[in-house]
C-alpha cells in the first residue's frame, strides 16, 4: 500500500511570500502530525490532528503557521510571510489511533528554502 | 530545553562489530520510546520501540535497552552492516497511541567495510 506522500518535495521561495505544503497520510490512519527539521537538529513537533478533535497546535512557532486537515485525509501546512529561519525540511507523519504504539509513519518531507 | 538528548553526533563502527547508540531523557512523563532510522532525502522509518514496563526489547539484529532510573536508553545493532549507515533518532512520548513525539538530535552511524 501507499505510504505517506508529501508535495512539493522541494520549495524555494522569497522572504515574505506565503507557502503551502501538502500531506497525504496513509489511508485509514486517523492521526496526522507535522514536524520540521532544521539543519543539524532533531525533529521538532508542530501540530497534531486526531479525528474530529481540536488539533494540538502547541508546537507551532508563531501565528504565521497554520494547518488544516480535511476529515481523515489530506492536510496542508501554510506558512505566511515566510522568514529565512523557516528554512527546514517539513515532515508529515500519520499513525493509527489506538494501535497501542506510537509508531508514526513519515513521508519523505518537503525541503523549504527561504531566500 | 532538550528533553531527549543524543550526545554523540556521529559513530563509526567496523562491519560485523556491535554498534551502540545512546539516548538520555529528562522528562519523567515519558514512558514509551522509539528509535527511527533516516537515510538522506527520506523520511525517518520506525526501527524498534520499548515501553517503560520493559527493560529490553529485541528484534533481529536490533535490541533496545531501557534504564528508567538513569533515564537512559540504548540501541544495539549486532552485527553491524554497511546498510545500517544512516542517522538514528531516539524519540519519546507519554504512553498511549497518537501522542506527539519528542526527538533527539540524531546520531550519524557509519559502518565501514
Over residues A44-91, the pLDDT tens digits come to 999 999 888 889 898 999 999 999 998 878 999 999 999 999 999 999
- Banded pLDDT at A99 (limits 50, 70, 90): low
Rounded-to-integer distance, Cα A60 and Cα A29, Å: 22
CATH number of the domain at A75, please. 2.60.40.10
Residue linked to cell 500500500: A1
Q: What is the reported pLDDT for B77?
A: 98
CB contact under 8 A, B98 and A50: yes
Q: What is the reported pLDDT for B1?
A: 72
- The whole domain housing A76 covers 5-99
Q: Is A10 on the interface with B (CB under 8 A)?
A: no
- Banded pLDDT at B81 (limits 50, 70, 90): very high
Residue A50 lies in a domain: yes
Q: DSSP string covering chain B, please?
A: --SEE---SEEEEETTS-EEEEEEE--TT--EEEEEEE-TTS--EEEEEEETT-SEEEETTEEEEEETTTTEEEEEESS--GGG-EEEEEEEE-SSTTPPPEE---EEEEEE-
Q: Is A109 on the interface with B (CB under 8 A)?
A: yes
Residue A112 lies in a domain: no
Chain B contact residues (CB < 8 Å to A): 4, 6, 32, 34, 36, 41-46, 49, 89, 91, 93, 96-106
- Banded pLDDT at A101 (limits 50, 70, 90): low
Over residues B27-60, the pLDDT tens digits come to 998 989 999 999 988 999 999 999 999 999 999 9
Residue A95 lies in a domain: yes
Over residues A31-52, the pLDDT tens digits come to 899 999 998 888 999 999 988 8
Residue A49 lies in a domain: yes
Mean pLDDT lowest for which of A28-37, A97-106, B98-107? Answer: A97-106
Q: What is the reported pLDDT for B85?
A: 97
Domain count, chain A: 1
Rounded-to-integer distance, Cα B33 and Cα B39, Å: 20
Domain count, chain B: 1
Residue A27 lies in a domain: yes
- Smallest Cα distance from B99 to chain A, Å: 7
CATH number of the domain at B10, please. 2.60.40.10
pLDDT at B2 over 90: no
> Quick check: A78 and A86 in contact, CB under 8 A?
no
CB contact under 8 A, B98 and A97: yes
Mean per-residue pLDDT for B67-88? Answer: 97
Mean per-residue pLDDT for B57-65? Answer: 97
- The whole domain housing B92 covers 4-96+104-112
Amino acid at each position: 500500500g501507499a505510504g505517506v506522500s508529501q508535495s512539493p518535495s522541494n520549495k524555494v521561495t522569497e522572504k515574505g511570500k506565503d507557502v503551502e505544503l501538502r500531506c497525504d497520510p496513509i489511508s485509514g490512519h486517523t492521526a496526522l502530525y507535522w514536524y520540521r527539521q532544521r539543519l543539524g537538529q532533531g525533529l521538532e513537533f508542530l501540530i497534531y490532528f486526531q479525528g474530529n478533535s481540536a488539533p494540538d497546535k502547541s508546537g507551532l512557532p508563531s501565528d504565521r503557521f497554520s494547518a488544516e486537515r480535511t476529515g481523515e485525509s489530506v492536510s496542508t501546512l501554510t506558512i505566511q510571510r515566510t522568514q529565512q529561519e523557516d528554512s527546514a525540511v517539513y515532515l508529515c507523519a500519520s499513525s493509527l489511533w489506538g494501535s497501542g504504539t506510537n509508531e508514526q509513519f513519515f513521508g519523505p518531507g518537503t525541503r523549504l528554502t527561504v531566500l | 530545553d532538550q528533553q531527549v538528548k543524543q550526545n554523540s553526533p556521529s559513530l563509526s563502527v567496523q562491519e560485523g562489530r556491535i554498534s551502540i547508540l545512546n539516548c538520555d531523557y529528562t522528562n519523567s512523563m515519558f514512558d514509551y520510546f522509539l528509535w527511527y532510522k533516516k537515510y538522506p532525502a527520506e523520511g525517518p522509518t520506525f526501527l524498534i520501540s520499548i515501553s517503560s514496563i520493559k527493560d529490553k526489547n529485541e528484534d533481529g539484529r536490533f535490541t533496545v535497552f531501557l534504564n528508567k532510573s538513569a533515564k537512559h536508553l540504548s540501541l544495539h545493532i549486532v552485527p553491524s552492516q554497511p546498510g545500517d549507515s544512516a542517522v538514528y533518532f531516539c524519540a519519546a512520548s507519554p504512553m498511549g497511541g497518537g501522542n506527539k513525539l519528542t526527538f533527539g538530535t540524531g546520531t550519524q552511524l557509519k559502518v565501514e567495510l
